[in-house]
């Protein structure tokens, strides 16, 4: 379908859907798409959604693009029970939304299928993004699919190897900056203009339109209800805002009568949004040199901070920051106890859930969804560092059996 219009999230200024906008022309803040819901009731949508496969494009009536989509069959990711967290909160059910099972291994694919389809609608042939890794891997794949040229800006040395390999192998031109993700992001609009490239960072509101479908899926997977809590790792803040937009649209459609409370989790060394919320301030203070093992969310000056802060506050939610040690421990527990291998940034939501469960936040009967944003194979280095080297063993039955029975 076609977007009705674009709107500034801050001052409410309205713009035509035909404009290519990343910032409000009036106040400089973020832009969102207002989907035309005229004539779209839940009664109308329900039978249509039901007859399509459980994938992102099932929800096409709420996706503001036209024509044949650029798709790798994304979405439809599992919602898996996380049982070990129950030990810390009686009668509370915890789930992981396993977004690492998207085509390139992260939730970014939801945004890119819609964002690159939008680029195609506009007749664009060159796309660009700044990235801590997953965005570049995803954009590179969707650009290949669409036959577009792709340029990605990444922090030199700051991107996990799996993600770099994906971007390179999908044929993107990779530019490694002697700087942080924030340096890349700070230059993206001017660079894009100079190169006549279409920007597919999450300041592009069409990205978040794709990402909001994860909220629709969670609602379906919980038997057409929203969770009591939705916990999400926060970097630029786009994804948390996208979930909120998705849940709000379900509410407006009358598909559900309540909204979840949102919890945004940042890493200790890169927590400008969590800090502002914890201090009850209206503005963030950017972090100059963000540090965390979770390279995906090593972001000091998040582009969508206003959208995310508003979403968390409107939902009567909260924010917290967790040290790297808690992130790595949560990553390890999730893998050992549940068989789910996610990347460190993704484990931030589990670390947040663990902390809040121990603090007694959740009430009996509640359902808590933790968004696990990216696959563990993206960043094996972060994991392998915590294991000693494995000494080689003679390839004989005796030696192998002895090694298997020895100290682990
Ligand atoms: C695994 O790839 O910003 O709060 O450039 O890869 O919407 O930014 C990645 C972000 C969480 C944070 N988990 O999401 C990038 C990039 C994973 C991520 C986030 C990212 P946002």
Pick from 172, 235, 309, 377 the residue to mutate for probing ligand 1's pocket: most ligand atoms within 8 Å of its CB. Answer: 235
Distance 44 CA to ligand 1 centre (A): 34
Q: How many C-beta neighbours within 10 Å does residue 157 have?
A: 8
Alpha-carbon dihedral sign for residues 56, 373, 298, 229: positive
For ligand 1, is residue 343 a contact (CB within 6 Å)?
Answer: yes
Tokens of 225: 């209800």
Nearest to 263 by CA among 300, 233, 304, 307: 233
For ligand 1, is residue 132 a contact (CB within 6 Å)?
Answer: yes
By DSSP bridging, strand 14-16 and strand 3-8 are antiparallel
Tokens of 252: 């407006």
Compute the C-alpha angle 244/250/254, nearest 5°.
140
For residue 241, the ligand 1 atom closest to its alpha carbon is 7
Distance 260 CA to ligand 1 centre (A): 21
**Per-residue pLDDT reduced to its tens digit, 234-284:** 999 999 999 999 999 999 999 999 999 999 999 999 999 999 999 999 999
Pick from 297, 301, 343, 379 the residue to mutate for probing ligand 1's pocket: most ligand atoms within 8 Å of its CB. Answer: 297
Question: pLDDT exceeding 90 applies to what percent of the chain?
Answer: 90
For ligand 1, is residue 292 a contact (CB within 6 Å)?
Answer: no
C-alpha R_g of the chain: 21
Alpha-carbon distance of 95 to 331, in angstroms, equals 15
Span 382-394, average pLDDT = 88
For residue 138, the ligand 1 atom closest to its alpha carbon is 2
Q: What's the pLDDT at 36?
A: 86
Pick from 101, 127, 132, 382 the residue to mutate for probing ligand 1's pocket: most ligand atoms within 8 Å of its CB. Answer: 132
Q: How high does pLDDT run on average in the chain?
A: 95
Atom 12 of ligand 1, residue of closest alpha carbon? 235
Distance 235 CA to ligand 1 centre (A): 5
Distance 225 CA to ligand 1 centre (A): 26
The ranges assigned to domains in the chain are: 79-105+207-385
For ligand 1, is residue 213 a contact (CB within 6 Å)?
Answer: no
Pick from 98, 167, 239, 309 the residue to mutate for probing ligand 1's pocket: most ligand atoms within 8 Å of its CB. Answer: 239
Nearest to 129 by CA among 27, 30, 232, 199: 199
Alpha-carbon dihedral sign for residues 391, 397, 398, 400: positive
pTM: 0.97
For ligand 1, is residue 98 a contact (CB within 6 Å)?
Answer: no
Q: How many C-beta neighbours within 10 Å does residue 389 have?
A: 6
Q: Is domain 79-105+207-385 in CATH 3.40.50.1100, yes or no? A: yes
For ligand 1, is residue 266 a contact (CB within 6 Å)?
Answer: no
**Per-residue pLDDT reduced to its tens digit, 71-121:** 999 999 999 999 999 999 999 999 999 999 999 999 999 999 999 999 999
pLDDT at 2 > cutoff 80: no
Alpha-carbon distance of 281 to 286, in angstroms, equals 13
Residues 6+ apart with CB under 8 A from 79: 95, 96, 97, 98, 217, 218, 221, 222, 369
387 class by beta-carbon count within 10 Å (0-12 exposed, 13-18 middle, 19+ buried): exposed
Helices 213-221 and 238-253 sit at what angle, rounded to 10 degrees?
A: 60
Span 200-208, average pLDDT = 96
For ligand 1, is residue 75 a contact (CB within 6 Å)?
Answer: no
Residue that is written with structure tokens 């972090």 in the block: 287
Distance 277 CA to ligand 1 centre (A): 19
37 - beta bridge partners? none
Place 357 in a pLDDT band, splitting at 50, 70 and 90: very high
Q: Are 270 and 290 in contact (CB under 8 A)?
A: yes
For residue 234, the ligand 1 atom closest to its alpha carbon is 4
For ligand 1, is residue 234 a contact (CB within 6 Å)?
Answer: yes
Backbone angles phi, psi at 71, to 5 degrees: -135, 145
**Per-residue pLDDT reduced to its tens digit, 12-71:** 999 998 888 998 988 888 899 999 888 899 999 999 999 999 999 999 999 999 999 999
pLDDT at 408 > cutoff 80: no
Q: Are 110 and 102 in contact (CB under 8 A)?
A: yes
Three-state secondary-structure class, residue 273 = helix
Atom 14 of ligand 1, residue of closest alpha carbon? 235
Q: What is the DSSP letter of 249?
A: H
CA distances from 383 to 136, 157, 374, 388 (A): 22, 17, 14, 11
Atom 16 of ligand 1, residue of closest alpha carbon? 132
Nearest to 264 by CA among 284, 240, 297, 228: 240
Distance 306 CA to ligand 1 centre (A): 16
For ligand 1, is residue 296 a contact (CB within 6 Å)?
Answer: yes
81 - beta bridge partners? 95
Tokens of 322: 């967790």
Q: What is the DSSP letter of 363?
A: P
Query: 3-state SS of the chain: helix, strand, coil percent to 5?
Result: 45, 15, 40
């Amino acid at each position: 379908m076609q977007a009705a219009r674009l709107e500034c999230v801050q001052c409410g200024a309205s713009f035509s859907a035909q404009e290519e906008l990343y910032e409000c022309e009036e106040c400089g803040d973020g832009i969102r798409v207002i989907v035309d819901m005229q004539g779209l009731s839940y009664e109308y949508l329900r039978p249509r959604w039901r007859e399509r496969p459980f994938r992102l494009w099932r929800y096409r009536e709420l996706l503001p693009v036209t024509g044949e989509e650029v798709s790798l069959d994304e979405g439809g990711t599992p919602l898996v029970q996380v049982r070990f967290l129950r030990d810390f909160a009686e009668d509370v059910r915890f789930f992981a939304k396993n977004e690492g099972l998207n085509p390139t291994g992260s939730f970014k694919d939801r945004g890119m299928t819609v964002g690159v389809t939008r680029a195609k609608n506009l007749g664009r042939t060159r796309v660009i993004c700044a990235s801590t890794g997953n965005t570049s891997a995803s954009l590179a794949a969707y650009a290949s699919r669409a036959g577009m040229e792709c340029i990605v800006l990444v922090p030199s040395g700051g991107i996990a190897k799996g993600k770099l390999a994906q971007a390179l192998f999908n044929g993107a031109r990779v530019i490694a900056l002697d700087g942080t993700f924030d340096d890349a992001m700070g230059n993206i609009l001017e660079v894009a203009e100079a190169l006549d490239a279409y920007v597919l960072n999450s300041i592009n509101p069409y990205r978040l339109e794709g990402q909001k479908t994860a909220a629709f899926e969670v609602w379906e997977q919980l038997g057409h209800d929203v969770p009591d809590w939705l916990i999400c790792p926060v970097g630029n803040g786009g994804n948390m805002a996208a979930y909120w937009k998705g849940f709000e649209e379900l509410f407006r459609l009358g598909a559900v009568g309540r909204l979840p409370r949102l919890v945004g989790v940042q890493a200790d060394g890169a927590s400008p949004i969590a800090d502002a919320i914890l201090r009850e301030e209206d503005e963030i203070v950017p972090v100059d040199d963000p540090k965390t093992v979770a390279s995906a969310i090593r972001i000091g000056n998040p582009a969508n901070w206003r959208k995310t802060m508003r979403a968390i506050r409107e939902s009567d939610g909260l924010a917290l920051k967790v040290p790297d040690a808690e992130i790595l421990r949560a990553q390890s527990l999730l893998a050992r106890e549940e068989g789910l291998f996610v990347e460190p940034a993704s484990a931030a939501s589990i670390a947040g859930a663990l902390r809040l469960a121990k603090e007694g936040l959740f009430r009996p009967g509640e359902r808590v969804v933790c968004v696990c944003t990216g696959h563990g194979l993206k960043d094996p280095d972060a994991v392998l560092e915590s294991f000693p080297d494995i000494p080689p063993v003679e390839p004989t039955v005796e030696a192998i059996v002895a090694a298997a029975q020895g100290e682990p």
